[in-house]
Chains A and B, each alone.
Chain A
Amino acid sequence: MKKKPGSQAQLKQKVLEQDLCTGCGACIGLCPYQVTHQDRTVQLFDCDLEEGKCFAFCPRTPADYQKIRNILYDSEDITPEIGVVKGYFLTRAADKRLRARAQHGGTVTALLELAMSEGLISSSIISSWNEDQHIEGKVVENKDCLRDFAKSRFMASPTIAAFNRFKGAYMHKTGIVATPCQALSLAKMKTSEFAGIPNTVFPVLVIGLFCGWTLARDRFENLLEKYGFGIKEIQGMDVPAGKKNLELASERGQVDIPMVEVETCVRAACRYCIDSTAEFADLSVGAARFGKDSEEMRCWNQVVVRSELGKVLMDMAFNKGVLEFRDVPAQALRNLKNAAAEKKKNALKKIIEKSGSAKNLLYLKSDDPVIKYYLQSQRKRKGIS
């Protein structure tokens, strides 16, 4: 009788070998069997456990998303395009100096600083460069250091591994900046039935990031070499709205790399991702888009508040004057929803291309209401009733 493949083997067959691994780090730091090395998830030894956390927490293994939504959020706020919307704002950090050092409006850093000074959380887990010039998660317990880690890097950081390794994580309240896949992994942990992980009341503040893609480090490094840049020289990166370039800021000045070239460096897994707004976070932050590209728009963020905790934090930010709030143009939320819906449809299309059948959605469940909604619209588009 053939033994059913255990969690680790399934993780390998269904995620790692299928180019679905997003490099989120959820399967790392739980045990000695998986580690991350130079932007790759490596399985060091064979674990034969039938049910392990690695498979359970991986954002690319099947899960009941509706159940997770119902546990973590108020159901009346759910939208099919961008998940739960309890509130939608355009904000930026009130502190000009912070804005200068951060990405767009500096909202994420401002919120973390606030959460730490108000005792909502006692540490933050963010991403940073390590001594081997790779990006990984880091626990910051001194809020004054947070500004050192501001700015986007557009490369996957296995930040959840730092969370897994942080022994205090389940006891002390910690905040974590998460990409959509990472937010999903944390949501799976919060709602899991594994022993030792307290469910529902999971003392983690998850600040999600809007995300369209991440870059595979080795390919990106080669591309940068072409432009005469070393990866450590990058001080900031941005893809301004409507522009077809990736703008790189460094000590030597700014360099524009055509998006066409950058697209060849995108991580394969990103093409199969349906979540561009971190639907499973407490609140999600991205670059503002309220009209044509302008100097002004560049220093604002759009924020989607999702959970009760997210609302508490935003209210605190408003009351303490840590964030500036702007009037939201009527079209802004609609534009965001449209863009997100496009990503969902494209991803589903790619998934079906890969699996060869609409019945096999790889890691997604076709009976999930959101998936069903977009599958139907797919069929309608193709003229199939």
Chain B
Amino acid sequence: MTKLLSPANENVLFLGNEAIARGALEAGLAVASGYPGTPSSEVIEALASVARKRNLYVEWSVNEKVALEVAAAASFAELRSMAVMKQNGVNVASDFLLHLTASGTRGGLVLVSCEDPGALSSVNEGESRYFARMLEMPLLEPADFQEAKDLTKWAFELSEQIGNVVMLRSVTRMSHASGNVICGKLPVRSRRAKFEYGGAVMDSQTGPMISTPVVAKHLLHQQRLKVIEELFERSSFNRYIGPAKPDLLILTSSACFLYAKEALEMLHLQKRVGILKLGTTWPLPPKLLKTHLQKTQQILIVEEVMPFLEEQVKVLASGMSPHVGRKTFFGKYDGALPSAGELNPDIVAGAIGAILKVKRKILSKSYLSEIKKATEMIPVREQTFCAGCPHRASFWNIHTAIALDGREGFVCGDIGCYSMAALSPATGYHTMPTLHSMGSGTGLACGFAKLSQFDFHKPVLTVCGDSTFYHAVIPALINAQHNRADITFIVLDNAGTAMTGFQPHPGLKVSALREAVPPVDIVSICQAIGVQVAVSDPFDLSATSKILTSFLAERGSVKALILRQACALSPEKKGKKPYTMQVNEELCLGDACGCNRLCTRIFRCPALTWNQSRKKAMVDEVICAGCGVCASICPQQAIVKYNGT
């Protein structure tokens, strides 16, 4: 039996995201939706794995806005529902979210945002906590795995209490780490869906689900939040550890609580420094805050990434200053902690040590020099496409076509594994100078392509993945066609949402619940939009090159090229090697004029290695995926392709 359905009181090791899923199950969740995004994806995956057993409906929606809408519908039908996404997704869903908090909800609706301080697997470290403040949604932040489960469960109750969305915010170090959780009870009965809307307009439980009259409903919402504030004052998720009169009070939430705890242990300051761990971070309970502010003169706020708590605390503190007196605050505003990036115990310990003028025992000089020597031996590991990745071949083709065209064409990039083309010449061959959000590549391309009247004549290309296409690109492609933007539009179709873990998307024949579904065809959509469409296999370098070269030469219209080749790690390819590749050392020119290591220095597939002693290229048979592309690029035909293994 899956551990997600463990019986009550069992102590289970859960991934943070699994704990969130468990909490939702214990709350009687009925519907869950989301869009894949690291570090959030496992929540939906876990729920999908038990959907049949627990009578859940679980969906990978085409984007986070639609995901939130799907969850909202379930909530309007009096079911408990959850929308799960990473921090980017909250921005995508924000238009609907704005109106949802204004109309209110019925069945408990929890918005789970798993964020990425330090951008470990994102190209931003945006903060969605401010949405809670802007839209006045209660915000909960678990600080450990037990809380991840318990807070999620509580979130549904809170949501039903105010008839509005509650936000739960996690971070990578919480979502993707594991810890022990004692399970609660799983409910036996499930609810029936029903949707009434004949009641009074001001009654969100029986009337229409609309945000008007706006100001009246806004005031009503703010009134209801007062109940939440009271609950937060008494909540055990806000707790204090430390001395009665600490020299320094740390205010913190989320994974930063663990960093702060560890920092105090490193400095042996547990008797001098107290930690107020906040699990309810909006609205901040003012009475609780007052009680703790009165204990001490100095307060350090430890949080990632933005000074969200710091600003709220300072606003409240200045309001209650007649009662608590003047305080000295440390945090991001004064530079005690870095204003960007992830925190860790070392950084927090450094800040505490500086405030209390306590020196940390650091590593001995000899140990430090040993570390330095060891780091010199660590091989450089660059971010790169996997062996057998179709994107490597696609960008090789794109680079060549741009070079032959000779007008300095460039690619507006988008989000997926192929984003890495912007990060390194080893992956993108210098083709991709822009990278923003899902679907923005095509939008930017539309803009660049209309600048010829300002003397801008560089050919404009854009790439997007298959999942990205459905998520956000279609409107931009329609825009290109409607506004006559001369762009070369390339879909890198590798048959899955690869970067985030191979979740299904509308182009596939299977859904999140492993049911057979009719695929939505990208080629047909492009044709319906009215653009010229071609399809090619990126592994076929010469055929793809021909099409790209002719597309770049063709001016004045949108040209769509769908490059189809499954991801090297896709289920259909994993473990299978179509070819065995071998370097014929007699033909290999190595670093001599005539080749100068084209395969290992420029093409850079990780399975091609340079043998320093023999001065020849070599295929690493363990890494090699057997795609065969390298055989086409070797000027000496020294890389040989054998069928099978």
Cβ B406 vs Cβ A31 within 8 A: no
How distant is the Cα of A54 from the Cα of B400 in the complex, in angstroms? 20
Cβ A42 vs Cβ B404 within 8 A: yes
How distant is the Cα of A47 from the Cα of B591 in the complex, in angstroms? 10
Residues of chain B with a CB closer than 8 A to A52's CB = 593, 596
Residues of chain A with a CB closer than 8 A to B403's CB = 42-44
Contact with A along B367-403 (1 / 0, CB 8 A): 0000000000000000000000000000000011001
Name the one of B404, B429, B591, B635 contacting A32, with C-beta atoms under 8 angstroms.
Answer: B635
**Any B CB within 8 A of the CB of A53:** yes
How distant is the Cα of A44 from the Cα of B635 in the complex, in angstroms? 13
Cβ B593 vs Cβ A194 within 8 A: yes
Name the one of B400, B429, B594 contacting A31, with C-beta atoms under 8 angstroms.
Answer: B594
Name the one of A30, A38, A43, A45 contacting B593, with C-beta atoms under 8 angstroms.
Answer: A30
Cβ A31 vs Cβ B404 within 8 A: no
**Any B CB within 8 A of the CB of A37:** yes
Contact with A along B627-645 (1 / 0, CB 8 A): 0000001010000000000
Which residues of B, 491-525, contact A by the 8 Å Cβ criterion? none
- What is the interface size of chain A, counting residues whose CB is below 8 A from a CB of the partner? 22
Residues of chain B with a CB closer than 8 A to A38's CB = 404
Nearest chain-B residue to A164 (Cβ)?
A: B594
Return A159 CB to nearest CB of chain B, in Å.
19
Cβ A31 vs Cβ B602 within 8 A: no
How distant is the Cα of A46 from the Cα of B403 in the complex, in angstroms? 12
**Any B CB within 8 A of the CB of A337:** no
Which residues of A, 25-50, contact B by the 8 Å Cβ criterion? 30-33, 35, 37-38, 40, 42-49
Return A56 CB to nearest CB of chain B, in Å.
9
Q: Given A42-B404, A44-B403, are A32 and B595 neighbors across the interface (CB < 8 Å)?
A: yes
How distant is the Cα of A37 from the Cα of B596 in the complex, in angstroms? 22
Cβ A32 vs Cβ B593 within 8 A: no
Q: Given A32-B633, A32-B635, A35-B404, are A45 and B602 neighbors across the interface (CB < 8 Å)?
A: yes
Return B637 CB to nearest CB of chain A, in Å.
11
Return B227 CB to nearest CB of chain A, in Å.
65
- What is the interface size of chain B, counting residues whose CB is below 8 A from a CB of the partner? 15
Residues of chain A with a CB closer than 8 A to B210's CB = none
How distant is the Cα of A40 from the Cα of B399 in the complex, in angstroms? 17
**Any B CB within 8 A of the CB of A95:** no
Residues of chain B with a CB closer than 8 A to A47's CB = 596
**Any A CB within 8 A of the CB of B347:** no
**Any B CB within 8 A of the CB of A51:** yes
Nearest chain-B residue to A30 (Cβ)?
A: B594
Nearest chain-B residue to A31 (Cβ)?
A: B594
How distant is the Cα of A194 from the Cα of B591 in the complex, in angstroms? 15
**Any A CB within 8 A of the CB of B320:** no
How distant is the Cα of A194 from the Cα of B404 in the complex, in angstroms? 29
Return B356 CB to nearest CB of chain A, in Å.
47
Name the one of B400, B406, B591, B596 contacting A40, with C-beta atoms under 8 angstroms.
Answer: B406
Residues of chain B with a CB closer than 8 A to A7's CB = 593
**Any A CB within 8 A of the CB of B619:** no
Nearest chain-B residue to A52 (Cβ)?
A: B593
Interface centre among B399, B594, B633, B635 (most CB of A within 10 A): B594
Interface SS of chain A: helix, strand, loop or mixed? loop
Residues of chain B with a CB closer than 8 A to A32's CB = 595, 598, 633, 635
- The number of residue pairs between A and B whose CB atoms lie closer than 8 Å in the complex comes to 44
Residues of chain B with a CB closer than 8 A to A45's CB = 429, 598, 602
Q: Given A31-B635, A32-B633, A32-B635, are A49 and B596 neighbors across the interface (CB < 8 Å)?
A: yes
Residues of chain A with a CB closer than 8 A to B429's CB = 45
Nearest chain-A residue to B603 (Cβ)?
A: A45
How distant is the Cα of A35 from the Cα of B218 in the complex, in angstroms? 67
How distant is the Cα of A35 from the Cα of B598 in the complex, in angstroms? 14
Return B87 CB to nearest CB of chain A, in Å.
37
Which residues of A, 43-96, contact B by the 8 Å Cβ criterion? 43-49, 51-54
Q: Given A32-B633, A51-B593, are A37 and B598 neighbors across the interface (CB < 8 Å)?
A: no
How distant is the Cα of A44 from the Cα of B549 in the complex, in angstroms? 14
Residues of chain A with a CB closer than 8 A to B635's CB = 31-32
Contact with A along B581-598 (1 / 0, CB 8 A): 000000000010111101
Residues of chain A with a CB closer than 8 A to B596's CB = 31, 33, 47-49, 52
How distant is the Cα of A140 from the Cα of B635 in the complex, in angstroms? 23
Residues of chain B with a CB closer than 8 A to A37's CB = 404, 406
Nearest chain-A residue to B594 (Cβ)?
A: A31
Cβ A44 vs Cβ B594 within 8 A: no
Return A160 CB to nearest CB of chain B, in Å.
15
How distant is the Cα of A279 from the Cα of B455 in the complex, in angstroms? 45
Cβ B406 vs Cβ A42 within 8 A: yes
How distant is the Cα of A7 from the Cα of B593 in the complex, in angstroms? 10
Contact with A along B158-189 (1 / 0, CB 8 A): 00000000000000000000000000000000
Return A27 CB to nearest CB of chain B, in Å.
11
Contact with B along A310-346 (1 / 0, CB 8 A): 0000000000000000000000000000000000000
Interface centre among A33, A44, A45 (most CB of B within 10 A): A45
Cβ A44 vs Cβ B593 within 8 A: no
Contact with B along A2-21 (1 / 0, CB 8 A): 00000100000000000000
Return B406 CB to nearest CB of chain A, in Å.
6
Contact with B along A201-239 (1 / 0, CB 8 A): 000000000000000000000000000000000000000
Contact with A along B9-46 (1 / 0, CB 8 A): 00000000000000000000000000000000000000
How distant is the Cα of A52 from the Cα of B596 in the complex, in angstroms? 10
Cβ A53 vs Cβ B593 within 8 A: yes
Residues of chain A with a CB closer than 8 A to B406's CB = 37, 40, 42
Return A375 CB to nearest CB of chain B, in Å.
34
How distant is the Cα of A51 from the Cα of B596 in the complex, in angstroms? 11
How distant is the Cα of A48 from the Cα of B597 in the complex, in angstroms? 10
Name the one of B594, B598, B633 contacting A53, with C-beta atoms under 8 angstroms.
Answer: B594
Return B265 CB to nearest CB of chain A, in Å.
48
Residues of chain B with a CB closer than 8 A to A31's CB = 593-596, 598, 635
Residues of chain B with a CB closer than 8 A to A35's CB = 404
Cβ B400 vs Cβ A44 within 8 A: yes
Cβ B593 vs Cβ A49 within 8 A: yes
How distant is the Cα of A42 from the Cα of B400 in the complex, in angstroms? 10
In addition to A31-B635, A45-B602, A52-B596, 5 A-B residue pairs with Cβ atoms within 8 Å of each other are A30-B593, A32-B635, A42-B406, A49-B593, A194-B593
5 A-B pairs with least C-beta separation: A37-B404, A52-B593, A32-B635, A31-B594, A45-B602
* 15 examples of A-B residue contacts, CB within 8 angstroms: A31-B595, A32-B598, A32-B633, A32-B635, A33-B596, A37-B404, A38-B404, A42-B403, A44-B404, A45-B598, A46-B602, A49-B591, A51-B593, A52-B593, A53-B593
Interface residues of A (CB under 8 A from B): 7, 30-33, 35, 37-38, 40, 42-49, 51-54, 194
